[in-house]
């Protein structure tokens, strides 16, 4: 039914006339409410002797369903309330899609038929499955020129710190990134998902020092993640006394620069500097 022919077959069974009213701003195959708007515009156009396109442009959804499902502001039609009411008295608007259509103040209020609505909407949704709710027009570079194609969107998400354990903040970013990517795809955009693995900070220099001390190729081949976590735990344990010594020195207002230039501090920073300089062996590791 995700074709005009399929849609019309459904609507014929509901007692509606064919063809389905079509307007430039309508997307009846993606937005079911546009079907209601189209039939309402055509119905009011015949009663009020107005161009249906002008009426379609004046139809709006209501913010309070107690006031109707669709609403037309009469002044936007350049008609008087009295003229509209008179035409309604002469030609009562009737459609299988609507339970009531009536004038109230400056409004033409329209309520969907509770009998017809599920018979139309449920098959409409079921036929589209996961595609229901997608509006591919939103992703067009130019709505007036679809041949120009769709926008391209790059979504970068997760970006875990390579030498650190995967934490909930990375998982959160992954979930959000996936959601945003799916959202743009539902708009028709070409989406590029970029899971950037970063960063090359001093933490990876520390992990490299740990590998030089505790790394084993056979253990890495057997359990890559587990072995790297073991290395990380060992080198952090070795590094902890140096961190404490520097912290104590700073709290005592002593010069800690000398401490930062020796031991694991010096090894870590030296390895990271090699990586920044593009040293082949450092980068290969």
Q: How many domains does the chain have?
A: 3
113 & 146 share domain? no
206 & 184 share domain? no
Q: Give the list of residues 6+ apart from residue 214 with CB closer than 8 angstroms, or none.
A: 230, 231, 234, 235
Count of C-beta atoms within a 10 Å radius of residue 112: 19
The tens digit of pLDDT for each residue in 85-132 reads 999 999 999 999 999 999 999 999 999 999 999 999 999 999 988 888
Residue 51 is given by DSSP the state -
β-pairing, 70-73 with 107-112? antiparallel
Cis before residue 233, ω within 30 degrees of 0?
A: no
Q: Residue 81 belongs to a domain with what CATH number?
A: 3.30.1360.70
The tens digit of pLDDT for each residue in 57-79 reads 999 999 999 999 999 999 999 99
Q: Is 266 exposed, middle or buried (0-12, 13-18, 19+ CB in 10 A)?
A: middle
The predicted model scores a pTM of 0.63
Which residues span the domain enclosing 90?
4-131
121 & 176 share domain? no
Cis before residue 19, ω within 30 degrees of 0?
A: yes
CB 159 within 8 A of CB 172: no
268 & 172 share domain? no
* CA pair distance 47, 96, nearest whole angstrom: 16
* Residue at which a domain ends, from 116, 131, 146: 131
CB 148 within 8 A of CB 140: yes
Residue 41 sits at φ, ψ, to 5 deg, of: -60, -40
Q: What is the pLDDT along the chain (285 residues), one digit of tens a residue?
A: 578 899 999 999 999 988 999 998 888 988 999 999 999 999 999 999 999 999 999 999 999 999 999 999 999 999 999 999 999 999 999 999 999 999 999 999 999 999 999 999 999 999 988 888 888 888 889 877 888 999 999 998 876 666 666 677 778 888 888 999 999 999 999 999 987 766 667 888 888 899 999 999 999 999 998 898 899 899 999 999 988 888 888 888 887 777 777 888 889 888 888 888 888 888 777
* Tally of residues, the chain: 285
* CA pair distance 167, 101, nearest whole angstrom: 56
Residue 258: HSE in the Cβ half-sphere, 13 Å Cα cutoff: 3
106 & 220 share domain? no
223 & 251 share domain? yes
* CA pair distance 238, 254, nearest whole angstrom: 23
Residue 230: HSE in the Cβ half-sphere, 13 Å Cα cutoff: 11
């Amino acid at each position: 039914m995700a074709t005009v022919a399929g849609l019309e077959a459904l609507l014929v069974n509901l007692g509606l006339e064919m063809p389905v009213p079509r307007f430039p701003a309508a997307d009846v195959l993606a937005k079911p409410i546009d079907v209601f708007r189209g039939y309402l515009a055509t119905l009011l156009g015949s009663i009020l002797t107005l161009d249906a396109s002008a009426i379609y442009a004046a139809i709006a959804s209501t913010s309070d369903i107690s006031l109707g499902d669709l609403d037309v502001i009469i002044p936007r039609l350049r008609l008087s309330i009295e003229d509209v009411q008179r035409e309604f008295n002469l030609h009562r608007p009737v459609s299988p899609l609507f339970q009531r259509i009536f004038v109230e103040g400056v409004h033409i209020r329209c309520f969907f038929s509770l009998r017809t609505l599920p018979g139309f909407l449920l098959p409409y949704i079921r036929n589209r499955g996961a595609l229901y709710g997608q509006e591919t027009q939103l992703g067009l570079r130019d709505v007036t020129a679809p041949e120009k194609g769709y926008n391209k969107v790059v979504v970068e998400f997760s970006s875990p710190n390579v030498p650190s354990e995967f934490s909930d903040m990375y998982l959160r970013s992954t979930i959000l990134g996936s959601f945003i990517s799916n959202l743009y795809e539902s708009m028709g955009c070409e989406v590029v998902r970029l899971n950037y693995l970063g960063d090359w900070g001093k933490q990876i220099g520390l992990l490299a020092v740990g590998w030089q001390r505790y790394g084993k190729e056979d253990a890495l081949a057997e359990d890559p993640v587990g072995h790297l976590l073991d290395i990380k735990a060992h080198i952090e344990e070795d590094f902890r006394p140096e961190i404490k010594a520097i912290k104590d020195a700073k709290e005592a207002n002593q010069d800690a620069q000398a401490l930062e230039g020796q031991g694991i501090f010096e090894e870590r920073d030296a390895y990271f500097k090699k990586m920044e300089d593009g040293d082949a062996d450092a980068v290969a590791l």
